[in-house]
Structure 1
């Protein structure tokens, strides 16, 4: 494999090869983009190209001893740092600094890949900043992050930024068919859910997600008319299962996305009306364009459609933003119950308004006092 074998990131790969051609490789890169779009693969292929013994057309040959060692993870001049637990810790960066006392052992460069650089703890980030301010010779740093805004601005300013875009649905579907053995239609249906990410596609291909989706949608649809007395116990019970929290919020995000498509683009639900992934339309519209002929990912019930029609599009976009913020909050250990309460309250008030609240459950509204 080489840089040119990475699909769907032509712009980023072309830029990296131009740097190799001009021999103007900076000391630090920041590869940003959603998970599962090829950032780590590109970092590994760049490391191969930098240390290849027989480079070809500003890319690695894939045959020399250096390329083989890098592919097998055995090259002494490749350092891969990832989080230990939730964060990347100061001790990990200090251990890295000890390596700088020596020149690269075999290759022209020592390549340091920092996975999920947004997880650097503050002391670790400050230590990393000092390294980037006075970089040791013959060392190339490649930081991988979902968003550059999640890193210290001073770190970002010292890196050459390379943005990786979401993959086309066709590329994701091809990967699912090849690696997962799925039928073309089934693979494309899951690809639409994945929004351009191989990692999400692998996640959605698990059949257990179907039952999880039905359960989450049921809770969201039941928010209509739910009383205050019933709302908070429901959320409290939901929050007890932290293991599925990230999955549940992902389903909520997709559900709100469908509300936006229905409200703005007049999209129609898939005729099957079944659970994912079978209910995804195979008409293959552009994955991230809300065209008038776009299909919803999932089925919306009549009350939800009625509520979505009455809500301003801006309100739905704001709701989508709230869900994404909640997903980011969970990644830094936000309180799950408060997070779910915030999201569910926003959905209930946005779709059903204050009129959707009842002080008492319906079964208790006729109680004499």
Structure 2
């Protein structure tokens, strides 16, 4: 996967090497890109370069004690912050700042990497902001996000943004087809991740196929009657999508359904997420107005936000299908 990421993100790798060569290392970076574009892989590569004892042609040597410890995840000067549950909490940021300012590190730069930075609680973001404004010592922050606009503008303005470009979906789909994945499944999987290896793992698994099938059945049920849709949630949906992560994935796939319908209605030629559902989606595109489609997509997005706030998942889905039936926003 590492070689695939480096190949796809050569522009980012070259930019990092150039910054290192010219000794223009900032105190905060924001890596912005879709899931699967390799942000964490390259963040660790960047950290390794900054700590390497014998860099070669502006890339880490991979053999010194520092490089080996970064590879094994045991370098004391690197701190990796991930969401605790669904969010990054204020306490995590406070602990980070305490750790960054105390003694006990090896000589050299201290680096902290915040994954899913857009999922910081407001209090956590404000705590981090104070540290970004007044970093103590030789410190570099690397924030990773797939939702740049969700970050506080004040955090955006204090970081150098490095954008990760996704590979061509058409090329990814073709490569997956060569590996034996059907075109339809490949098209859906490449909406979820921008890495071929991850897309292949998803598309090869039974659970992803089951979630995809369940989402499409929900679309049909919700366009039949509200009773059918509610019954479907109770009898099918909650049996297949049991975990919060699975519901989140299902809501993403549901959003892609209505993206496809809007594209058909608008006459766009973009590669669909569900090429095997063209006939069904064409019928829905004829029956549904743009305003209703927009309302449904917004209510799916709102359901995703409620999911992350720990709302009861069955109740959330029942509320969602009621609003899909009516084309209204969740209140």
Do both proteins adopt the same fold according to a TM-score greater than 0.5, normalized to the shorter chain?
A: yes
Residue 6 of structure 1 aligns to a residue in which SS?
Answer: helix
> Are residue 297 (structure 1) and residue 274 (structure 2) matched?
yes
> Could you say which residue in structure 2 is the equivalent of 1:50?
50
> Could you say which residue in structure 2 is the equivalent of 1:184?
179
- Aligned partners of 1:326 and 1:170: how far apart in 2? 30
- Aligned partners of 2:223 and 2:98: how far apart in 1? 59
> Are residue 95 (structure 1) and residue 95 (structure 2) matched?
yes
After superposition, give the CA deviation of every residue in 1:68-121 in whole Å (9 maximum; x if it has no partner): 111111211111111222222233222222332227404x21111111122222
Contact 1:255/1:298, CA 8 A, preserved across alignment: no
**More displaced, 96-105 or 305-314?**
305-314
- Aligned partners of 1:156 and 1:59: how far apart in 2? 27
Contact 1:8/1:168, CA 8 A, preserved across alignment: no
Closer, same or farther: CA 197–3 of 1 in aligned 2, 3 Å: closer
Instruction: Report the Cα offset of residue 192 of structure 1.
Output: 2.8
- Aligned partners of 2:72 and 2:252: how far apart in 1? 34
- Aligned partners of 1:224 and 1:84: how far apart in 2? 38
- Aligned partners of 2:182 and 2:39: how far apart in 1? 22
Query: What is the TM-score of this pair, normalised by structure 1?
Result: 0.73
> Could you say which residue in structure 1 is the equivalent of 2:74?
74
> Are residue 256 (structure 1) and residue 235 (structure 2) matched?
no
Query: Which residues in structure 2 correspond to 1:162-241 (within 5 Å)?
Result: 162-169=162-169, 172=172, 184-186=179-181, 190-193=185-188, 194-195=190-191, 196-198=193-195, 199=198, 201-227=200-226, 231-232=229-230, 234-235=232-233, 238=237
Name the Cα RMSD after superposition.
3.4
Instruction: Report the Cα offset of residue 51 of structure 1.
Output: 1.3
After superposition, give the CA deviation of every residue in 1:35-63 in whole Å (9 maximum; x if it has no partner): 22111011000001111122222221222
Query: Which residues in structure 2 correspond to 1:32-51 (within 5 Å)?
Result: 32-51=32-51
Closer, same or farther: CA 24–298 of 1 in aligned 2, 3 Å: same
Instruction: Report the Cα offset of residue 216 of structure 1.
Output: 2.7
The structure that has the greater radius of gyration is 1
Structure in which a larger fraction of residues adopt helix: 2
After superposition, give the CA deviation of every residue in 1:141-174 in whole Å (9 maximum; x if it has no partner): 1111221222222222211111222233477569
> Could you say which residue in structure 1 is the equivalent of 2:137?
137
> Could you say which residue in structure 2 is the equivalent of 1:105?
106
Closer, same or farther: CA 315–114 of 1 in aligned 2, 3 Å: same
- Aligned partners of 1:224 and 1:115: how far apart in 2? 38
Instruction: Report the Cα offset of residue 220 of structure 1.
Output: 1.6
- Aligned partners of 2:133 and 2:278: how far apart in 1? 56
Unaligned residue ranges in structure 1 (runs of 5+): 266-289, 354-369
- Aligned partners of 2:8 and 2:168: how far apart in 1? 7
Contact 2:117/2:145, CA 8 A, preserved across alignment: yes
